Structure 1
Amino acid sequence: MAKPEGRERLMTVAEVATLMRVSTMTVYRLINAGDLPSVRIGKSYRLRESDVDHYLASRYTQAG
Protein backbone atom coordinates (compact mmCIF):
# COMPACT_ATOMS: atom_id res chain seq x y z
CA MET A 1 0.00 0.00 0.00
CA ALA A 2 1.42 3.38 -1.01
CA LYS A 3 1.80 6.19 1.49
CA PRO A 4 -0.73 8.98 0.76
CA GLU A 5 0.96 12.12 -0.54
CA GLY A 6 1.68 14.70 2.14
CA ARG A 7 1.62 12.14 4.92
CA GLU A 8 4.63 11.28 6.94
CA ARG A 9 5.55 8.30 9.07
CA LEU A 10 4.77 8.67 12.76
CA MET A 11 7.06 6.88 15.20
CA THR A 12 6.35 5.70 18.72
CA VAL A 13 8.47 6.79 21.68
CA ALA A 14 9.95 3.29 21.82
CA GLU A 15 10.92 3.41 18.12
CA VAL A 16 12.59 6.81 18.60
CA ALA A 17 14.43 5.58 21.70
CA THR A 18 15.75 2.57 19.76
CA LEU A 19 16.80 4.77 16.85
CA MET A 20 18.61 7.23 19.14
CA ARG A 21 19.94 4.44 21.39
CA VAL A 22 18.58 6.07 24.53
CA SER A 23 15.91 5.09 27.04
CA THR A 24 12.24 5.88 26.51
CA MET A 25 12.44 8.15 29.57
CA THR A 26 15.03 10.28 27.76
CA VAL A 27 12.67 10.67 24.80
CA TYR A 28 9.83 11.68 27.15
CA ARG A 29 12.15 14.27 28.76
CA LEU A 30 13.00 15.72 25.34
CA ILE A 31 9.28 15.92 24.51
CA ASN A 32 8.39 17.58 27.83
CA ALA A 33 11.27 20.06 27.48
CA GLY A 34 9.97 21.06 24.05
CA ASP A 35 13.16 19.91 22.32
CA LEU A 36 11.41 17.21 20.32
CA PRO A 37 8.01 18.04 18.76
CA SER A 38 5.34 15.40 19.18
CA VAL A 39 1.64 14.70 18.77
CA ARG A 40 -0.42 13.18 21.53
CA ILE A 41 -2.79 10.50 20.35
CA GLY A 42 -4.89 9.19 23.21
CA LYS A 43 -2.48 8.49 26.04
CA SER A 44 0.59 7.99 23.85
CA TYR A 45 2.92 10.26 21.91
CA ARG A 46 3.87 10.02 18.23
CA LEU A 47 6.79 11.78 16.61
CA ARG A 48 7.26 12.62 12.95
CA GLU A 49 10.28 10.96 11.43
CA SER A 50 11.43 14.29 9.93
CA ASP A 51 11.31 15.98 13.37
CA VAL A 52 13.52 13.25 14.83
CA ASP A 53 15.94 13.55 11.88
CA HIS A 54 16.03 17.34 12.28
CA TYR A 55 16.68 17.05 16.03
CA LEU A 56 19.55 14.62 15.48
CA ALA A 57 21.06 16.74 12.69
CA SER A 58 20.94 19.87 14.83
CA ARG A 59 22.79 18.09 17.68
CA TYR A 60 25.46 16.61 15.43
CA THR A 61 29.04 17.69 16.15
CA GLN A 62 32.17 16.66 14.33
CA ALA A 63 34.99 15.36 16.49
CA GLY A 64 38.64 16.05 15.92
Structure 2
Amino acid sequence: MDEHGTLTTPVDDDPTLVLLTVEEAARRLRIGRTTCFALIRAGELESIDVGRLRRVPADAPAEYVARRRAAQRAA
Protein backbone atom coordinates (compact mmCIF):
# COMPACT_ATOMS: atom_id res chain seq x y z
CA MET A 1 0.00 0.00 0.00
CA ASP A 2 1.14 3.51 -0.64
CA GLU A 3 0.88 6.42 1.79
CA HIS A 4 -2.78 6.96 0.81
CA GLY A 5 -3.81 3.36 1.58
CA THR A 6 -4.08 2.43 -2.11
CA LEU A 7 -3.01 -1.04 -3.09
CA THR A 8 0.02 -0.91 -5.37
CA THR A 9 1.24 -3.49 -7.86
CA PRO A 10 4.78 -4.81 -7.48
CA VAL A 11 7.07 -3.74 -10.32
CA ASP A 12 7.69 -7.34 -11.42
CA ASP A 13 3.96 -7.75 -12.17
CA ASP A 14 4.05 -4.85 -14.65
CA PRO A 15 2.85 -6.32 -17.98
CA THR A 16 4.72 -3.65 -19.95
CA LEU A 17 8.16 -4.87 -18.85
CA VAL A 18 10.20 -6.44 -21.63
CA LEU A 19 13.11 -7.61 -19.48
CA LEU A 20 13.16 -8.77 -15.87
CA THR A 21 15.97 -8.88 -13.37
CA VAL A 22 16.90 -12.36 -12.20
CA GLU A 23 15.23 -11.56 -8.88
CA GLU A 24 11.98 -10.54 -10.62
CA ALA A 25 12.04 -13.73 -12.72
CA ALA A 26 12.63 -15.78 -9.56
CA ARG A 27 9.64 -14.14 -7.86
CA ARG A 28 7.44 -14.90 -10.86
CA LEU A 29 8.51 -18.54 -10.70
CA ARG A 30 8.24 -18.57 -6.88
CA ILE A 31 11.81 -19.88 -6.58
CA GLY A 32 14.94 -18.49 -4.98
CA ARG A 33 17.49 -16.28 -6.69
CA THR A 34 20.18 -18.98 -6.52
CA THR A 35 17.88 -21.55 -8.14
CA CYS A 36 17.01 -19.04 -10.85
CA PHE A 37 20.69 -18.45 -11.61
CA ALA A 38 21.19 -22.25 -11.73
CA LEU A 39 18.38 -22.56 -14.32
CA ILE A 40 20.02 -19.81 -16.37
CA ARG A 41 23.46 -21.48 -16.18
CA ALA A 42 21.92 -24.81 -17.23
CA GLY A 43 20.27 -23.13 -20.23
CA GLU A 44 16.79 -23.97 -18.97
CA LEU A 45 15.74 -20.34 -18.47
CA GLU A 46 16.53 -17.88 -21.24
CA SER A 47 18.52 -14.79 -20.35
CA ILE A 48 20.56 -12.14 -22.11
CA ASP A 49 23.41 -9.83 -21.24
CA VAL A 50 22.69 -6.11 -21.30
CA GLY A 51 26.10 -4.59 -20.79
CA ARG A 52 27.29 -6.09 -17.52
CA LEU A 53 23.74 -6.97 -16.43
CA ARG A 54 21.88 -10.27 -16.75
CA ARG A 55 18.23 -9.93 -17.76
CA VAL A 56 15.46 -12.46 -18.40
CA PRO A 57 12.94 -11.80 -21.19
CA ALA A 58 9.52 -11.25 -19.61
CA ASP A 59 8.02 -14.22 -21.46
CA ALA A 60 10.85 -16.64 -20.53
CA PRO A 61 9.47 -17.73 -17.13
CA ALA A 62 6.14 -18.76 -18.71
CA GLU A 63 7.97 -20.57 -21.53
CA TYR A 64 10.09 -22.43 -18.97
CA VAL A 65 6.96 -23.57 -17.12
CA ALA A 66 5.28 -24.64 -20.38
CA ARG A 67 8.32 -26.76 -21.33
CA ARG A 68 8.38 -28.37 -17.87
CA ARG A 69 4.67 -29.14 -18.05
CA ALA A 70 4.99 -30.69 -21.51
CA ALA A 71 7.95 -32.80 -20.38
CA GLN A 72 6.05 -34.07 -17.35
CA ARG A 73 3.01 -34.97 -19.48
CA ALA A 74 5.24 -36.89 -21.91
CA ALA A 75 6.89 -38.89 -19.12
Is TM more than 0.5 here?
Answer: yes
Aligned length, in residue pairs? 56
Larger radius of gyration: 2
| TM-score, normalised with respect to structure 2 | 0.63
Q: 2:34 aligns to what?
A: 25
RMSD across aligned positions (CA): 1.9
Give the letter for the 2:41 counterpart: N
Listed as ranges, the gaps of 5+ residues in structure 1 are: none
Listed as ranges, the gaps of 5+ residues in structure 2 are: 1-15
| TM-score, normalised with respect to structure 1 | 0.72
Give the letter for the 1:26 counterpart: T
Structure number with greater CO (CA < 8 Å, separation at least 6) is 1
Q: 1:34 aligns to what?
A: 43
> Any idea what the Cα deviations from partners look like across 1:14-62, whole Å, max 9, x if unmatched?
1011111111001100111111111112332111112221111111257
